[in-house]
Amino acid sequence: MGDLLLLLAVFIATFSLGVLLILRVPPRLHTPLMSMTNAVSGITVLGALLLYAEEIGGLATCLAAIAIVAGAFNLVGGFAVTDRMLRFFQKRGDRHG
């Protein structure tokens, strides 16, 4: 029970800090910030996959599956949005794809 409370406290603290930091990011830095969150989503997916490597209970397996799906969705969507944003900075003749 103590471990769960510690994990919950860390989650709440990091969530609050993340919201405070993201709200202060100027719009011109949104694309680099999005690329960084893509990397964090990749780490989330890897961590959830590592949970499957060990014998864990039903709730942990369910949470790991949710983390994999949500992280993968954010990862793929984030790269798509970042690619689209970066195309705005290209000259018209340089566009590929």
| pLDDT per residue as tens, the chain (97 positions) | 777 888 888 889 988 888 887 788 777 776 677 777 777 888 888 888 887 777 777 887 888 888 888 888 888 887 887 788 778 777 776 655 5
The type of residue at 88 is: F
Is 18 within the bounds of a domain? Answer: no
Is 80 within the bounds of a domain? Answer: yes
pLDDT for res 42: 82
pLDDT for res 36: 74
Per the structure, the complete domain to which residue 83 belongs is given by: 29-94
d(CA 71, CA 78): 10
d(CA 71, CA 41): 5
pLDDT for res 96: 59
Is 73 within the bounds of a domain? Answer: yes
> What is the tally of structural domains in the chain?
1
Is 46 within the bounds of a domain? Answer: yes
Is 37 within the bounds of a domain? Answer: yes
Is 66 within the bounds of a domain? Answer: yes
Please give the torsion angle defined by the CA atoms of residues 72, 76, 79 and 84, in that order, rounded to the nearest 10 degrees: -150
Say what the pTM is: 0.56
Backbone phi and psi for residue 34, each to the nearest 5 degrees, phi listed first: -65, -40
Judge whether 33 and 25 are in contact, CB under 8 Å: yes
Structure tokens given for 53:
């490597």
d(CA 29, CA 27): 5
Residue with tokens 């405070």: 20
